[in-house]
Amino acid sequence: MKKKYCENIALSALSDAQLLQLSKTNVLALSLKEMKTVQHYFKLLKREPTDIELETIAQTWSEHCKHKTLTSPIEYQEISGAKKTSHTFNNLLKETIFEACLKLKKKWCLSVFADNAGIIEFDENYGAAFKVETHNHPSSLEPYGGAATGIGGVIRDILGVGLGAKPLADTDVFCFADPKTPAKKVPQGLHSPRRIIKGVVGGVRDYGNRMGIPTVDGAVCFDECFLANPLVYCGTMGLIPKNKISKKVSAAEFIVVVGGRTGRDGIHGATFSSVKLDKDSDVSAVQIGNPIMEKKVLDALLIARDLNLYTALTDCGAGGLSSAVGELASETGARVELEKAPLKYPGLLPWEIWISEAQERMVLAVKKKNLKRLLKIFKDKDVEASVLGNFTSDKKLTLLYNKEIIGQIQMQFLHEGLPKVSRKAVYHIAKEIKQKPIKMSAQKISAMLIKVLADLNVCSKEWIIRQYDFEVQGQTIVKPLESNSIEVSGNSDAAVIFPYTLIADTKKAIVLSNGINVSYGKINTYKMGAAVIEQALRNAVCVGANIDKISLLDNFCWGNCDNPEVLGSLAACAKACFDFSCKFGTPFISGKDSLNNEYSVGGKKFSITPTLLVSAMGIIENINNVVTLPFKKEGNKIFVLGLTRNEMGGSIFNSINKISDGILCEVFADESKPLMQKIYAAMQLHLIESCHDASEGGLGVCISQMCFCGQLGARIDIDNIKVYEKMTPAEILFSESNGRFVIEVKPENVEKIYKIFRPCIFSEVGAVGGKDLIIESAKNKMKIKQNINVLMKAWQKTLWDI
Amino acid sequence: MKKAKALILTTAGINCDFETQAALNICGARSERVHLHELISKKNKLQNYDILVFPGGFSYGDDIASGKILAYQIKDKLKDEILKFAQSKKLIIGICNGFQALVKMGLLPDEKTFKQSVTLYYNDSGKFECRWVYLKTNPQNNCIWTKNLPEIICLPIAHGEGKFITKDEKILKNLKKNNQVVFKYCDAKGDFGKYPICPNGSQENIAAISNSGGNIFGLMPHPERFIFALQSVTKKGFDDQFGWGKIIFENAVNYIG
């Protein structure tokens, strides 16, 4: 029968080559095996699919929505010298990251890997939800819009978790190429890094600030590999009443879409994010954001939530209505009348309405008796709400336009019909060689410290941070920039949000932190995974989080995983996630992957270094126990906790000095976890005045930062720092060993500190005072002296203005 | 003692309403968040309240210019009510976007003329900025909101359009003559200086003004973000636990009570 509102796609007669061509031309991003599965399904139905049916399947089966690479079988082989080991994963995600969470059985995990975000317990009445998303492809093509809708999308994830959480804070982590990259080095069809940075920062700024959600934590990494594929991670944390965490759709409930209108923006976003970009990639796949609309949706939605006016909701993200309705109706079925969707402008084809990723829309399931009241609440807040159809009990997705059936697919095929493909993965563990001993004079070390502080990956990100309103909502206690006086600043380890406006009389707070390191990923992704997990945990612990109640999120950004070597490096990293999540007792509660970060032009391929972002969310029991990094008072004692090893591999020092040898830092959880527990114990007794961890740049950078943001100098005896092996002063100062913290202690509390920290490895190394950082070694007859404001200026000036 | 009743005005894009409500309540007021529609449709009346708060945010996305659309809506739909409120010596405060709306509707600096004569323009730095600033108070000023403050306080700012400019020299002269300048950006010692001491390039470092009656107060900094010491970047406040914003809101509450 000839249809008026859709086209039949003649699939049954197509050859393999033609199927693949169709997948490419229509941006379906489906493999041959998947296309053949679809072909077979419709052959059994004895008809051809319509355009909207094929699009629905492509959106639902996209890498973005189904994470098919990480959930399909992987034959993994690890090669270390002559030694080979193999292992088959049936579902990499389930058997590593998710498995760790199951194994740890933390009763404070309230919802894991099931909803739009992970949720842990905050107090007896509330849960804390956290999610971090990536928006890499859109930000590469249209930096401002891509980043804005990235943050807008993750805020909706939090709004759409359970029956809706109230967003309290945003996080952002970016990976860029050097803003000074000359134009001639930028591949054809791409924006210059400087333009990308300005656009991305502007996008996050304008969306986050207008939403009234403070952007409180983040990181910026620089590496040449991000020239063609910048990475943009956006996160949101929110609080949700515990009795609003579960949702359930029932047949006959109305499907109500609220928020922005549907337009032609963001067509094929879900599938486009799974293909490699080239100079002809279509910018219209990027959505257009409107934060004021989203703010209105937020305001109205939380009122309706508290009046119990809907039974389920989710956000329209990748795949638009097709994913949102498809997901909500997966157990029931749905009947959708697409002509009822309000449009930005006429002329959209039904399939375009169905998959458009126009922003600021949420889909709700509403019982008949509540519909009138619900519609009124949205009307009062100037938000459009429209009934699009209803949920059914036939387990079918039925799509109509002006009463004509234009698509009908079994829910089971849609959600479980995706064929599994076994992939091969190989990981070669690179051999690491210790570098030649680094011998430098005091003068050279002093100059090197300045260089390391000024390095793009260490320097102040104040230019970016201050463009975000990190104070809105009034709950940001530990801020991204901390100091003893408002004229100076140092980079905080983590952010602390104290939700007193939502929960009057609470003492509890939420800690957000992150760990990421690009240069470690170039050497060994297993060690990188371990290091960034520990880095996120250290950061959270520094401000006062209890290590026994920290949850993690993973975000894998990888290159082309059709390449077994690339997939192998991912599997190795996932193994590290399992191992160290278990060792630290910190479960992963949600995550996201962005694969295929590859760009090709003129036969040349640009791929990214494997980059894992680990974000941590912890709980602080008493807000009065938070600790920040600036040194507080002259005369206080300085301790270094943890052991320094000769681990210069992947360090900032090595990259500045172009040294390729060096051992990449390893994580020794049996050393660092007890340290973290003791730090928390000492903080409860107010025995620690300031705390900062040593990470990029090493101990020298760590102590410098504590000095200048406290506007106090320090005298450090380098001979007293505990080392694992014989090391030169430069190696001690610039090695990036994990598991190390610097703390400041009042003289009267020194004895108590010794008592608490024994038998861990730690030592007293000096005292706070003066206006210089003085580092001495009697053994090496060496004295390094540098004014703290000289150190601060070096740290600040690199990215003072872009 | 009468409990002061505060109306915190919300509309599309206002986003500092919750913390402003919390701050007022902590300081002893009973405050409600009320949508502009409720006032326009007369479901709720301005005259039922003692204090009117225009909180911070991005009303209507700051389209056209910051606070402009909200200012027009008030002028068009609520002119009589708001003038009656202002002239009955009840209290009005505009914070950040609220300050921008107050000057653009002309309620500041002179509610009697109700015409715009000053503006808050794009920062000289050309970008939105969030930072803590020192503010020098004016002992000659009669603003009800700022009594009992020491000579120098600090508060956070977060805005892209905060550069205070008067229409002409005469307006500026009058503001000074009538002691309507409430806060000026300064350094720790109280000296004036350029960026970042003055974060936006305001004329004569002006950060806040009041009307000549002292009941209408507009400021770019956010007092609701500094009610207790831990909220400050230095974690220090007065009496070991409070922030300067507390005094500002308590002044209003005590005046009513």
User: What is the C-alpha to C-alpha distance for residues A245 and A599, in angstroms, rounded to an integer?
Assistant: 40
Quick one: tokens of A296?
A: 């209105």
User: What is the C-alpha to C-alpha distance for residues A324 and B197, in angstroms, rounded to an integer?
Assistant: 49
For position A26, what pLDDT does the model report?
A: 86
User: Count of CB atoms within 10 A of residue B179's CB?
Assistant: 16
Q: How many domains does chain B have?
A: 1
Quick one: tokens of A60?
A: 């639902």
Q: Which domain holds residue B205?
A: 5-256
For position A270, what pLDDT does the model report?
A: 65
Chain B nearest C-alpha distance from A207 (Å)? 10
pLDDT per residue of chain B (257 residues) written in tens, 0 to 9: 678 999 999 999 999 999 999 999 999 999 999 999 999 999 999 999 999 999 999 999 999 999 999 999 999 999 999 999 999 989 999 999 999 999 999 999 999 999 999 999 999 999 999 999 999 999 999 999 999 999 999 999 999 999 999 999 999 999 999 999 999 999 999 999 999 999 999 999 999 999 999 999 999 999 999 999 999 999 998 998 999 999 999 999 999 98
Q: Least CA distance to A292: which residue of chain B?
A: B13
Q: Please identify every residue of B annotated as catalytic.
A: 96, 222, 224
Q: Enumerate residue ranges in chain A where pLDDT < 70.
A: 1-2, 269-285
Does the predicted interface ipTM exceed a cut of 0.85?
A: yes
| Cβ of residue A479 closer than 8 Å to a chain B Cβ | yes
> What is each CA distance from B174 to A775, B113, B117, B136, B180, in whole angstroms?
58, 14, 11, 19, 8
Q: What angle (nearest 5°) sits at the alpha carbon of residue A569, between those of residues A563 and A571?
A: 100
Q: How many residues does chain B have?
A: 257
| Cβ of residue A215 closer than 8 Å to a chain B Cβ | no
Q: Do A382 and B12 touch (CB under 8 A)?
A: yes
For position A272, what pLDDT does the model report?
A: 67
Best of B35, B60, B129, B130 to mutate (most A CBs within 10 Å, chain A) = B130
Q: Do A504 and B22 touch (CB under 8 A)?
A: yes
| Cβ of residue A745 closer than 8 Å to a chain B Cβ | no
**Bond before A759 cis per omega within 30 degrees:** yes
For position B194, what pLDDT does the model report?
A: 94
User: What is the C-alpha to C-alpha distance for residues B55 and B158, in angstroms, rounded to an integer?
Assistant: 13
CB within 8 Å of A268: residues ≥ 6 apart: A27, A282, A285, A355
CB-closest option in B13, B187, B231 to A474: B231
User: What is the C-alpha to C-alpha distance for residues A779 and A17, in angstroms, rounded to an integer?
Assistant: 72
Q: Do B12 and A504 touch (CB under 8 A)?
A: no
| Cβ of residue A310 closer than 8 Å to a chain B Cβ | no
Which positions in chain B touch A471 (Cβ < 8 Å)?
Answer: 130, 156, 158, 222, 225
User: What is the C-alpha to C-alpha distance for residues A572 and A567, in angstroms, rounded to an integer?
Assistant: 9
Backbone φ and ψ for B78, nearest 5 degrees, come out as -130, 20
For position A784, what pLDDT does the model report?
A: 96
For position A189, what pLDDT does the model report?
A: 83
- Please give the helix or strand (H or E) that residue A77 lies within, else none: strand A74-80
User: What is the C-alpha to C-alpha distance for residues B12 and A801, in angstroms, rounded to an integer?
Assistant: 33
For position A597, what pLDDT does the model report?
A: 86
Q: Least CA distance to B153: which residue of chain A?
A: A486
What is the CATH classification number for the domain harbouring B90? 3.40.50.880
For position A64, what pLDDT does the model report?
A: 78
Q: Do B158 and A212 touch (CB under 8 A)?
A: no
Task: Please choose, from the candidates A571, A407, A305, the residue with its C-alpha nearest in 3D space to the C-alpha of residue A5.
Answer: A407
| Cβ of residue A481 closer than 8 Å to a chain B Cβ | yes
Identify how many contiguous H helices and E strands chain A contains and give both numbers.
27, 34
Q: Do B61 and A474 touch (CB under 8 A)?
A: no
Q: Are strands A74-80 and A215-222 parallel, antiparallel or unpaired?
A: unpaired
pLDDT in tens, B73-107: 999 999 999 999 999 989 999 999 999 999 999 99
| Cβ of residue A144 closer than 8 Å to a chain B Cβ | no
Q: Which residues in B have their CB inside 8 Å of a CB on A?
A: 10, 12-13, 15-16, 18-19, 21-23, 35, 37, 56-58, 60-61, 127-134, 154, 156, 158, 187-188, 222, 224-225, 227, 230-231, 233-235
- Per DSSP, the three-state class of A419 is coil
Quick one: tokens of A118?
A: 């992970």
CA A161 to chain centre: 17
CB-closest option in A210, A469, A474 to B224: A474
For position A606, what pLDDT does the model report?
A: 85
User: What is the C-alpha to C-alpha distance for residues A797 and A486, in angstroms, rounded to an integer?
Assistant: 18
DSSP secondary structure string for all residues of B116-180:
--EEEE--TTSS-EEEEEEEEE-TT---GGGTT--SEEEEEEEES--EEEESSHHHHHHHHHTT-
